[in-house]
Amino acid sequence: MTKLNVLRYEIRRLISTKQYLYSLLIISLLTYDVLNRLLIGGFKGTAPFSPWSYSEFLALVISVFSVIVILMWINVFSEKEQKVRGIIFSAPITQSRYYLIKGIAIGLAASLILLVIIILSFGYYYLVYGFSDYGTFIMPMVYFICPSFLISLGLGLFIGKINVKILYLLIPLFLVIGLFNLGLPGLLDLTGGSYLFDHFNYLNLEVIEKYTLTKEFLCSRMILIVLGLCLFGIGCRIKQ
Amino acid sequence: MRDRVELIWNEVKLLFKLKMVIVLILLTIIFMIIGLGAVNSSDNYALHNMRQTSRIIALGSARYGALFGSVLFGMMTIILLNRDQRKGSKDLIEANLEYYQLIIVRIISLILLVIGTILLGMLVVFIVQTWIYQTVFELRIYLFSYGVVFFPAILFAILLTSGVYLITDNSDMSLLSLAGLYFLSLTSNNYLLNWVQTHALLYSDFASIRPVTSFILYNRLFWVSISLGVLALGLLFKRRYQRGIYESMLINGQKLFIPLAVVGLLCLALLIYSHEPLINSADSALNIEEPVINERVILTKILPDITFYPDKGEMKAVVNYIFCKELAEERIELITNTGLQITSVKVNGLPTGFEYLKGTDRIQVDLADGEQVELEVTYEGRIKYPHVSTVAGYISENSIYLLEQSHWIFEPLTARDEQVEIIGAVTLPAELTAVPVGEITAIKEEAGQKTWEYMLKTRSLELGFFAAEYTQKIFNVAGIEVQLFTSPRHEAYLFQKDLEHYITGIVEYYTQVIGEYAFLDQPLKIVESSLYKTGGHSTANVITIAEYVFNREFTNSTSMEEWRFYQDIELLAHEIAHQWWGSGVEVTVNTPWSSEGLACYMSNKYMEAEFGEEVSFMLSSYWESSVRLMQGKYYYQHPNQVGLLKKDMQTQIATEKLKTELYSIMPLQLLKAEKILGKEQFLQSLARLYKQNLFQSVSYQEFFAETNLTKEAITLD
Ligand SMILES: [Zn+2]
Burial of B256 (0-12, 13-18, 19+ CB in 10 A): exposed
Is the Cα dihedral A168, A172, A178, A179 positive or negative? positive
Cis-peptide into B592, omega within 30 deg: yes
CB contact B175 to A (< 8 Å)? yes
Interface contact flag, A179 B183, Cβ < 8 Å: yes
Nearest to B582, CA basis, from B459, B406, B401, B671? B459
Burial of A79 (0-12, 13-18, 19+ CB in 10 A): exposed
**Looking at the predicted structure, is the pLDDT value of residue B81 above 90?**
no
Q: How confident is the model at residue A206 (pLDDT cuts 50, 70, 90)?
A: low
CB contact B713 to A (< 8 Å)? no
DSSP string covering B250-269, please? HHHTTSTHHHHHHHHHHHHH
Gap from CA of B537 to ligand 1 centroid (Å):
7
d(CA B297, CA B663): 34
**Looking at the predicted structure, is the pLDDT value of residue A6 above 90?**
no
Cβ A61 vs Cβ A30: under 8 Å: yes
Gap from CA of B325 to ligand 1 centroid (Å):
34
d(CA A117, CA A144): 13
Classify residue A55 as left (phi > 0), alpha (psi -120 to 50) or beta: alpha
Q: How confident is the model at residue B550 (pLDDT cuts 50, 70, 90)?
A: very high
**Contacts of B258 by beta carbon, 8 Å cutoff, 6+ apart:** B232, B235, B236, B252
d(CA B158, CA B187): 21
pLDDT at position A180: 81
DSSP string covering A4-61, please? HHHHHHHHHHHHTSHHHHHHHHHHHHHHHHIIIIISTT-GGGS-TTSHHHHHHHHHHH
Give the nearest chain B residue to A200 (CA atoms): B629
List helix spans (H) across A130-214. 138-144, 146-162, 164-179, 193-199, 205-210
> Is residue B237 located within the same domain as residue B159?
yes
B395 belongs to a structural domain:
yes
pLDDT at position A92: 65
Give the domain-ending residue among B462, B481, B512: B462
pLDDT at position B196: 95
List CB contacts (< 8 A) between A205 and chain B: 628, 631-632
Nearest to B409, CA basis, from B301, B312, B331, B286? B301
* A172 → closest Cβ in B72, B86, B168: B72
**Which residue(s) pair with B443 in the sheet?**
B452
**Looking at the predicted structure, is the pLDDT value of residue A202 above 90?**
no
CB neighbours of residue B178 within 10 Å: 26
**Looking at the predicted structure, is the pLDDT value of residue B299 above 70?**
yes
Whole-model pTM: value is 0.93
Q: Which of A4-8, A129-133, A170-174, B427-431 has the highest mean pLDDT?
A: B427-431
Which is more confidently placed, A61 or B556? A61
* Lowest-confidence region among A223-232, B133-142, B645-654: B645-654
Phi, psi (rounded to 5 degrees) for B342 = -80, 125
> Is residue B249 located within the same domain as residue B283?
no
**Contacts of B393 by beta carbon, 8 Å cutoff, 6+ apart:** B337, B383, B401, B402, B403, B405, B406, B408
CB contact B640 to A (< 8 Å)? no
B392 belongs to a structural domain:
yes
Q: How confident is the model at residue A62 (pLDDT cuts 50, 70, 90)?
A: very high
Closest-CA distance, B42 to chain A, in angstroms, reads 9
Q: Ion ligand 1 — residues with CB under 5 Å?
A: B 596, 599
Q: Which domain holds residue B124?
A: 2-274
Taking only residues 59 to 78 of chain B, the set having a beta carbon closer than 8 angstroms to any beta carbon of chain A reads 67-68, 71-72, 75
Interface test with B, best of A61, A159, A169, A174 (most B CBs within 10 A): A169
d(CA A152, CA B559): 40
Looking at the 3D structure of chain B, how many domains does it have?
A: 3
CB contact B626 to A (< 8 Å)? no
**Contacts of A78 by beta carbon, 8 Å cutoff, 6+ apart:** A164
Cβ B188 vs Cβ B202: under 8 Å: no
Count CA atoms within 13 Å of residue B681 on its CB side.
10
Is the Cα dihedral B183, B184, B190, B191 positive or negative? negative
List CB contacts (< 8 A) between A75 and chain B: 172
d(CA B321, CA B304): 8
pLDDT tens digits, one per residue of B118-146: 999 999 999 999 998 888 899 999 999 99
List CB contacts (< 8 A) between A204 and chain B: 628
CB contact B180 to A (< 8 Å)? yes
pLDDT tens digits, one per residue of B619-632: 999 999 889 888 88
Q: Which helix (H) or strand (E) holds A69?
A: helix A51-77
Cα torsion B115, B120, B121, B127 to 10°: value is 150
> Is residue B248 located within the same domain as residue B294?
no
Total residues found in chain B within this entry: 717
Gap from CA of B349 to ligand 1 centroid (Å):
40
> Is residue B175 located within the same domain as residue B228?
yes
**Contacts of B698 by beta carbon, 8 Å cutoff, 6+ apart:** B585, B586, B587, B588, B689
> Is residue B257 located within the same domain as residue B150?
yes
d(CA B655, CA B288): 9
Start-to-end Cα distance in chain A = 24
pLDDT tens digits, one per residue of B368-402: 999 999 999 999 999 999 888 888 899 999 999 99
B569 belongs to a structural domain:
no
List CB contacts (< 8 A) between B642 and chain A: none
B365 belongs to a structural domain:
yes
Nearest to B214, CA basis, from B341, B383, B379, B342? B383
**Looking at the predicted structure, is the pLDDT value of residue B93 above 60?**
no
* B653 → closest Cβ in A41, A169, A182: A41
B579 belongs to a structural domain:
no
pLDDT at position B96: 53
> Interface pTM (ipTM) of the complex?
0.94
B561 belongs to a structural domain:
no
Closest-CA distance, A99 to chain B, in angstroms, reads 21
List CB contacts (< 8 A) between A68 and chain B: 176
> Is residue B256 located within the same domain as residue B348?
no
Q: Return the ∠ at Cα B564 (arms to B562 and B567), rounded to 5°.
A: 110
List CB contacts (< 8 A) between B67 and chain A: 176, 180
Residue B706's domain is classified under what CATH number?
A: 1.10.390.10
Gap from CA of A178 to ligand 1 centroid (Å):
37
Gap from CA of B594 to ligand 1 centroid (Å):
9
Closest-CA distance, B83 to chain A, in angstroms, reads 11
Q: Which domain holds residue A197?
A: 2-237
- What is the average per-residue pLDDT within B559-585? 94
> Is residue B352 located within the same domain as residue B451?
yes
Interface contact flag, A60 B645, Cβ < 8 Å: no
Q: What is the mean pLDDT of chain A?
A: 88
**Looking at the predicted structure, is the pLDDT value of residue A204 above 70?**
no
d(CA A67, CA A170): 8
d(CA A113, CA B313): 51
Start-to-end Cα distance in chain B = 80
Interface test with B, best of A39, A63, A176 (most B CBs within 10 A): A176
**Contacts of B147 by beta carbon, 8 Å cutoff, 6+ apart:** none
d(CA B577, CA B658): 20
> Is residue B325 located within the same domain as residue B286?
yes
Interface test with A, best of B20, B168, B174, B175 (most A CBs within 10 A): B175
Gap from CA of B599 to ligand 1 centroid (Å):
6
> Is residue B368 located within the same domain as residue B304?
yes
Q: How confident is the model at residue B84 (pLDDT cuts 50, 70, 90)?
A: low
Cβ B130 vs Cβ B137: under 8 Å: yes
* B635 → closest Cβ in A41, A79, A179: A41
The three-state secondary structure class of B280 is coil
Give the domain-ending residue among B244, B274, B304: B274
Nearest to B568, CA basis, from B543, B551, B582, B581? B551
Nearest to B401, CA basis, from B583, B561, B204? B204
Interface contact flag, A41 B649, Cβ < 8 Å: yes
Count CA atoms within 13 Å of residue B689 on its CB side.
25
B537 belongs to a structural domain:
no
> Is residue B342 located within the same domain as residue B265?
no
**Looking at the predicted structure, is the pLDDT value of residue B293 above 80?**
yes
Q: How confident is the model at residue B647 (pLDDT cuts 50, 70, 90)?
A: confident
B570 belongs to a structural domain:
no
Give the domain-ending residue among B445, B462, B479: B462
pLDDT at position B15: 84
List CB contacts (< 8 A) between A38 and chain B: 187
Interface contact flag, A38 B180, Cβ < 8 Å: no
Which is more confidently placed, A201 or B139? B139
* Lowest-confidence region among A179-188, B14-23, B63-72, B418-427: A179-188
> Is residue B184 located within the same domain as residue B69?
yes
Interface test with A, best of B15, B64, B183 (most A CBs within 10 A): B183
Interface contact flag, B67 A176, Cβ < 8 Å: yes
Gap from CA of B655 to ligand 1 centroid (Å):
15
Radius of gyration for the alpha carbons in chain A, expressed in angstroms and rounded:
19
Nearest to B401, CA basis, from B542, B256, B598, B594? B542
CB contact B177 to A (< 8 Å)? yes
Cβ B273 vs Cβ B222: under 8 Å: yes
Q: What is the mean pLDDT of chain B?
A: 92
List helix spans (H) across B138-287. 139-144, 151-168, 171-187, 210-237, 245-252, 257-274
**Looking at the predicted structure, is the pLDDT value of residue B473 above 60?**
yes
pLDDT at position A91: 59
Interface contact flag, A18 B170, Cβ < 8 Å: yes
Q: How confident is the model at residue B576 (pLDDT cuts 50, 70, 90)?
A: very high
Looking at the 3D structure of chain A, how many domains does it have?
A: 1
Q: Which of A38-42, B6-10, B80-84, B529-533 has the highest mean pLDDT?
A: B529-533
CB contact B298 to A (< 8 Å)? no
DSSP string covering B467-531, please? EES-EEEEEEETTEEEEEEE-GGGHHHHHHTTHHHHHHHHHHHHHHHT-S-TTTTS-EEEEEE-T
> Is residue B616 located within the same domain as residue B656?
yes
d(CA A120, CA A115): 8
* Lowest-confidence region among A201-205, A208-212, B133-137, B592-596: A201-205
Total residues found in chain A within this entry: 240
Residue B423's domain is classified under what CATH number?
A: 2.60.40.1730
pLDDT tens digits, one per residue of B334-358: 999 999 999 999 999 999 999 998 8
- What is the average per-residue pLDDT within A3-22? 89
